[in-house]
Structure 1
Amino acid sequence: MDENYEVIVVGGGFAGVAAARHLGRKGVRVLLIDKNPYHQFQPLLYQVATVQLGVSEVARSLRDIFRGQPNVRVVVEEVTDVDPHAKRVTTADGKTYEGRFLVLASGAEANFFNTPGAEELTFPLYSVEDAVNLGGSLSMMLEDADREDDGRPLNFVVIGGGPTGVETAGALAETVKYVLPDYFSPRLANRCTVHLVDMIPNVLNAFGDKSKEYAGRRLTRMGVQLHLGTPVSEIASGKVLLKDGTEIPADVVVWAGGLKAGPVVTGSGLPGGRGGRIDVNPDLTAPGVEGVYVLGDAANMTDAKGNKLPQLGSCALQAGKWAAKNILADIEGRGREPFDYNDKGYMAMVGRGSAVAEMGPGPKRLLLTGPLAFLGWLGVHVVLLSGTMQKIRAMATWPSDYITHRRSFVVLSRPDGKRR
């Protein structure tokens, strides 16, 4: 048995980092475990994949985050087993760690919904590694196409019409329209088509009707071909098959079709709900076991009235802070309080200078579209980025990218080509 800790936090995402930081400031002895040595800003991974931002803008060292908090220890290792009742975790190197409280904030992974070929032939976009792999494949495909110059059409297919899918399709369309003609040639750009597929008959299903309509119109104007209202039946080599018989040619397929809980949560023995996530109590504790909190994409969270809460970074961030407050209440013998989520609304970028933003708590949100929403999107994401240097780099990169459209497709990752 390795050292004992007051609180063990599994996962270095929004929720896990927020919980550990808040507890660390209060002098609580915390162990944070993550398989990666960095905290990633998932909402901007699509910009890494399309070379709008670099990895250093969206990833920050966990040790840098907790510099100056000696009571928070960071261990970089994969968690292979969790015993919620004993508040014990085991890592891939065989070590075990035990605490008085356990926080599971291990995030999620792509949910392929058992779609044939999806796991083998598509690129998910939920980690820095995913973004780098996708960027590398896109770069290699474009270089090959430019060298061969055979006039063959090139098709990029994005599956999933939520914010990740819409933002990725918009970024790809923007790259085709503004970047490729200068970086490669207009001839190569004219061969490229971006497709967006979703079983729902509209994009941004969680948004209001006006936002859905605006995003759909904007994507269409940018040249994105929308295939909505029909599920994907199979991903095959060089094509995406829909259940209505439609075949979409595909050179690169991006999977933004949904998330599910990862093996840390599904193998914990805790009762799983929708997406394999844990249906937590209103105070963010796991049902049926004392001292265990489940947060972020690992949990199905509700507010005090039982309303389902969104799988958003801002929600996970607030949940991490709230769980820390409840753990402190547990330590001090006070009562826990139900999570009071501050609903700030939804945002999605739809290409250069364009976005949709529904600000404030529903149902009477302030709706913004176009350039104003775009500026709001930039401001919110700068605030949410972790670390001063990440904010400075993003603010320095965005104006150059959106004004000049100059990007350098220097990608070090060389995928094996199986997904192409």
Structure 2
Amino acid sequence: MMPTGKPKIVIVGSGFGGLAAAKALHGSAADVTLIDRTNHHLFQPLLYQVATAALSPADIATANRVLLRGSPNVRVLMAEATGVDASAREVLLADGRRLAYDYLILATGAAYSFFGNDAWRPHARVLKSLDDALAIRAALLDAFERAEQSNDPAEVRKLLTFAIVGGGPTGVEMAGTIAELARTTLARDFTYIDPRQARVVLCEAGGRLLAAFDPALSAYADEALEALGVEVRLGKAVQEIDANGLTVGDDRIDAGAVLWCAGTQARPAARWLGVEAARNGAVKVRPDCSVPGHPEVFAIGDVASYDSGSGHPLPGLAPVAKQQGAYVGRLLAARIAGRAEPSAFRYRDYGTMAVIGRSRAVAVLAGLKLKGFLAWLAWSLVHLMLMVDFRSRLSVYINWSWAWFTYGRGARLLMGEPGRAASDP
């Protein structure tokens, strides 16, 4: 992009927040650069369906250049940001380059946290990227293939035991979907093993699943998972994870795969800027999402800790990031044009939801508590509408419809090296 004399806005991260900011700056009197270490926008809420062979990567990811094709003032740059020189107003890139900015929007997201137990990381798979999802899918399918060839009953039991740590929405969704994969999709596909005998264990250190939901909905989620054959273990923390499984409380569980769906921490934007961070590492921001002491820098989504005065920061949800991104984009467009800027950011909470399995979900929408098929239908419609392009909506709708009527999953190919561990830097 040639210098134009216009203000330079750099957006780091092409998730929900970064993409929303870029779209809000479409046609503004600024040169906008969107940086991401991948070339695509990922619809993370459905990432677990790629991990469990329900969807393919192309169903939930779209190239950033395609999404921003109609924005001539927005440049897309595939690069990895490694820091910020706030005094020079430059973003540092992994290849040694520096990218100057007049305004900076940090939308770098979050990574999984092992609560200081980083020795567990090589033995537990996480779910944050397409690479992670494909590695989990390979590990799950490979476990069944290896069990089919084994003559050792103890090895078969271990291979067909899948442990999920974390009883939030991701953990609940993973547990329910893996159980359905084993008990319906794969049930008739093998000669010597019965996939329906697979053991799925969901471990939650707290007293109930889906702690952010109403207790009655948490209880329904527990019952629905147990109906699918999932073992739900509450109130006991993980003590150890190794190459052969995990220890929960005093119980040892030998497992073919351990999936970590517990706590998260913000990526290191606060450290880049040398500013105050919340307990999870997120940047504490002002009412307009700017960083204290750096009015030209904004943090949004999972990397930001935004408290509107309630004493509780906004949750790390896609709607929060999208609304913050759109807000900051409008604010900067107005500031550059000399127009009145919008008042402080205000999050509009349209509800929360979690799917448990086929025709089972829980949801809170506009104060209304739903469960079962109605909640699942609402979940399906909301997620389809949140997807960024029509192609993805159509593809996902067709796959979901086919899977609902046939119990089939179309993305069950094994490629690459199933034993390779996923990473979440």
Pick the TM interval, shorter chain. Answer: over 0.9
Per-residue CA distance 1:376-420 (angstroms, 9 max, x = gap): 00000000111111011001100111221122420323244458x
SS at match of 2:47: helix
Match of 1:128 in 2: 130
Shift in alpha-carbon separation, 1:117–1:226, aligned structure 2, 3 A: farther
Q: For 1:367-386, what aligned pairs fall within 5 Å after superposition? A: 367-386=369-388
- SS of the aligned residue for 1:187 comes to coil
1:318 matched to which residue of 2? 323
For the Cα contact (< 8 Å) 1:132–1:411, is it kept in 2? no
Q: What is the CA deviation profile of residues 156-197 of structure 1, one whole-angstrom value per residue up to 9, with x for unaligned ones?
A: 001111001100111001111111112335833143100101
Give the secondary-structure state (helix, strand or coil) at the position aligned to 1:200. coil
Q: What is the identity percentage for the equivalent residue pairs of Structure 1 and Structure 2?
A: 35
Contact 1:87 1:292 in 2 (8 A): no
Match of 1:68 in 2: 70
Amino acid at match of 2:227: R
Distance 2:286 2:301 in 1: 13
Distance change >3 Å, CA 177–CA 246, structure 1 → 2:
same
| Structure 1 residue identity aligned to 2:75 | R
**Aligned residue in 2 for 1:8:** 10
Shifted more, 206-215 versus 25-34: the winner is: 25-34
Deviations 1:125-147, CA, capped at 9 Å, x for gaps: 11111101111111222111112
1:333, distance to aligned residue in structure 2 (A): 6.0
1:189 to 183, 190, 195: 195
Higher mean C-alpha deviation, range 409-418 or range 272-281: 409-418
CA contact (8 A) 1:304 1:339 kept: no
Deviations along 1:234-258, whole A, 9 cap, x unmatched?
102212112x312122110111112
**Structure 1 residue 124: Cα displacement:** 0.4
Number of residue-to-residue matches in the alignment? 414
TM-score, normalising length from structure 2?
A: 0.93
In structure 1, the gaps of 5 or more residues are none
C-alpha root-mean-square deviation of aligned residues, in Å? Answer: 1.9
Which residue of structure 1 aligns with residue 165 of structure 2?
159
Query: Is 1:277 the equivalent of 2:282?
Result: yes
**Structure 2 residue corresponding to 1:407, chosen from 400, 406, 409:** 409
Asked if the contact 1:88–1:98 (Cα under 8 Å) also holds between the matched residues in 2, the reply is yes
Per-residue deviation, residues 16-70 of structure 1 (Å, max 9, x unmatched): 0000110124343200000000000111111000010110111110000100111
Q: Specify the SS of the correspondent of 1:357.
A: strand
1:191-210 residue pairs with structure 2 within 5 A? 191-210=197-216
Matched position secondary structure for 2:201 = strand
- For residues 99 and 53 of structure 1, the distance between their equivalents in structure 2, rounded to whole angstroms, comes to 38
Q: Structure 1 residue 316: deviation in Å?
A: 0.6
1:223 corresponds to:
229
* Letter of the structure 2 residue corresponding to residue 397 of structure 1: N
- Rate the CA distance shift 1:233–1:30 in 2: closer, same or farther, 3 A: same
Query: Matched residues in 2 for 1:164 and 1:320: separation?
Result: 23
Whole-angstrom distance in 2 between the partners of 1:57 and 1:302: 34
Q: Aligned runs of 1:240-279 on 2, under 5 Å? A: 240-242=246-248, 244-279=249-284
Distance change >3 Å, CA 253–CA 88, structure 1 → 2: same
- Determine the structure 1 residue equivalent to 2:314: 309
C-alpha distance in structure 2 between counterparts of 1:236 and 1:351, whole Å: 29
- Pick closer, same or farther for the CA change 1:185–1:378 going to 2, 3 Å: farther
Distance 1:69 1:146 in 2: 52
Letter in 1 for 2:113: N
Structure 1 stretch displaced more, 223-232 or 330-339: 330-339
The residue correspondences of 1:15-164 to structure 2 (distance < 5 A) are 15-115=17-117, 117-151=119-153, 152-153=156-157, 154-164=160-170
Amino acid at match of 1:227: R
Greater mean alpha carbon deviation, residues 397-406 or residues 38-47: 397-406
Asked if the contact 2:245/2:257 (under 8 Å) is kept, the reply is no
Cα 1:417–1:293 change in 2 (3 A) is closer
Secondary structure of residue in 2 paired with 1:26 = coil
Q: Distance in 1 between matches of 2:98 and 2:298?
A: 19
Within the candidate set 338, 348, 351, 1:345 is matched to 351
- Secondary structure of the structure 2 residue equivalent to 1:267: helix
Gaps of 5+ in 2: none
Separation of aligned partners in 1, 2:13 and 2:399: 29
Shift in alpha-carbon separation, 1:120–1:337, aligned structure 2, 3 A: same
The 3-state SS of whatever aligns with 2:286 is coil
- Rounded to whole Å, the distance in 2 between the matches of 1:374 and 1:75 is 38
Contact 1:277 1:297 in 2 (8 A): yes
Q: Indicate whether 1:177 and 2:179 are aligned.
A: no
**Structure 2: distance between partners of 1:185 and 1:270:** 59
Answer with 325-334 or 213-222: which moved more: 325-334
Q: Tell me, in whole angstroms, the C-alpha distance in 2 between the residues paired with 1:105 and 1:293.
A: 9
Aligned partners of 1:239 and 1:54: how far apart in 2?
28
Equivalent-residue separation in structure 1 for 2:191 and 2:374 (angstroms):
32
Name the CA shift for 1:405/1:149 in 2 (closer, same or farther; >3 Å): farther
> In the alignment, which of 317, 332, 335 is matched to residue 330 of structure 1?
335
**Distance of aligned partners of 1:268 and 1:129 in 2 relative to their CA distance in 1, 3 Å threshold:** farther
Give the superposition deviation at 1:221. Answer: 1.0
Query: Compared with structure 1, are the counterparts of its residues 218 and 286 closer, same or farther at alpha carbon in structure 2 (3 Å cutoff)?
Result: same
Q: Give the conservation status (yes or no) of the 8 Å contact 2:221–2:356.
A: yes
| Distance in 2 of aligned mates of 1:109 and 1:121 | 16
Whether the 8 Å contact between 1:304 and 1:340 is mirrored in structure 2 is no
CA distance in 1, matches of 2:420, 2:331: 48
SS in 2 for 1:397: helix
The separation in 1 between residues aligned to 2:101 and 2:111, in whole angstroms, is 26
Q: Which amino acid aligns with 1:254?
A: L
SS in 2 for 1:274: coil
> Distance between the aligned counterparts of 1:188 and 1:238, measured in 2?
22
Change (3 A) 1:193 1:24: same
Question: Aligned equivalents of 2:418 and 2:254: distance in 1?
Answer: 21
